[in-house]
Structure 1
Amino acid sequence: MLLQTVSPVQVLGTVVLFAIFLSITAHLAARNVLGAVDPRRALYVGPLPAVVGVVGGAFSLPAFLTVPVALALDAAMFHWSYERDRRVTLAMTAIHVVITVLLGVVLGGIVLLLATRPT
């Protein structure tokens, strides 16, 4: 088995890009539920679930452990950032999950198609 080394810059870059992606989808979810909202508030939502995802992947932790932790942090950050009641927070979190999965599948498919195109 060949071990690959990963630099701290690569890990940091992955966390930052994932946090930006999650913040964008968090803003879309918040707009869907609340209407016009300040996009800067979504910047608080993305980083913690991104860290959980990257750390979970780095240590090969099972999804049944990392997903609930990431969802709980996502909901907590929505609640803290947008200062809404529990019901609205759960709606934003659920819509955030749906938007993130759909957009991730579409963007992943586009990347896969572009990677396999003939040269």
Structure 2
Amino acid sequence: MSLATTPLQSAATGSPLAVAGTFASLALFLSITAHVAARNVLGDVPVKYAFVVGPIPAAVAVVFTAFELNSFVAIFLAVGLDGVAVKYLYGQSNRLSAYVTFVHVVVSIILGAVLFGLLLLLSSAPG
């Protein structure tokens, strides 16, 4: 008896509408987590900056996935561009911008894991 395994994602395929929907939902998610991170570190900040920060790493993720490029390079590029965007939009020092970016990464990972866990739990519920 052999068990067949399949990767979570074998190739980047899909219609342009699916790619646009993926980008939009990821950009919205990252914008929300960017605002949560900025508010926790900097205090009261305008939400409009978060809607500029969020699409940047989302675009990197979608482009690198669509062209099947190295995902480790994508992670470093997305985090780096996120930090640059935070620095210039919020007008903070390099150190504080790096801290906001770090908190943004942590909040995104935690919230993403929780949402994925809820989705997995709901999908395995008896019908």
Q: Normalized against structure 2, the TM-score is what?
A: 0.87
Question: Higher helix fraction: Structure 1 or Structure 2?
Answer: 1
Distance 1:112 1:59 in 2: 28
Distance 1:73 1:5 in 2: 26
**Are residue 61 (structure 1) and residue 69 (structure 2) matched?**
yes
Give deviations 1:24-83, integer Å, cap 9, x for gaps. 000000011111111111111011100111122222322221111001110011112111
Structure 1 residues 80 and 6: alpha-carbon distance in aligned structure 2, compared to 1, 3 A threshold: same
Among 35, 39, 42, the residue aligned to 1:27? 35
**1:91, CA displacement in angstroms?**
0.5
What SS does the corresponding residue of 1:37 show, helix, strand or coil? coil
- The one-letter amino acid of 2:23's match is V
Distance 2:66 2:106 in 1: 24
Among 61, 83, 95, the residue aligned to 2:91? 83
Larger Rg: 2
Question: Alignment RMSD, CA only?
Answer: 1.5
Equivalent pair of 2:27/2:55 in contact (CA under 8 Å): yes
**Are residue 13 (structure 1) and residue 30 (structure 2) matched?**
no
Distance 2:33 2:26 in 1: 11
User: What is aligned with 1:38?
Assistant: 46
**1:4, CA displacement in angstroms?**
8.7
**1:5, CA displacement in angstroms?**
5.2
The number of aligned residues is: 117
Distance 2:81 2:18 in 1: 24
Compare 3-12 and 68-77 and name the one that shifted more: 3-12
Distance 1:84 1:40 in 2: 16
Q: Normalized against structure 1, the TM-score is what?
A: 0.92
**Are residue 51 (structure 1) and residue 51 (structure 2) matched?**
no
Could you tell me which runs of 5 or more consecutive residues in structure 2 were left unpaired when the two chains were aligned.
1-10
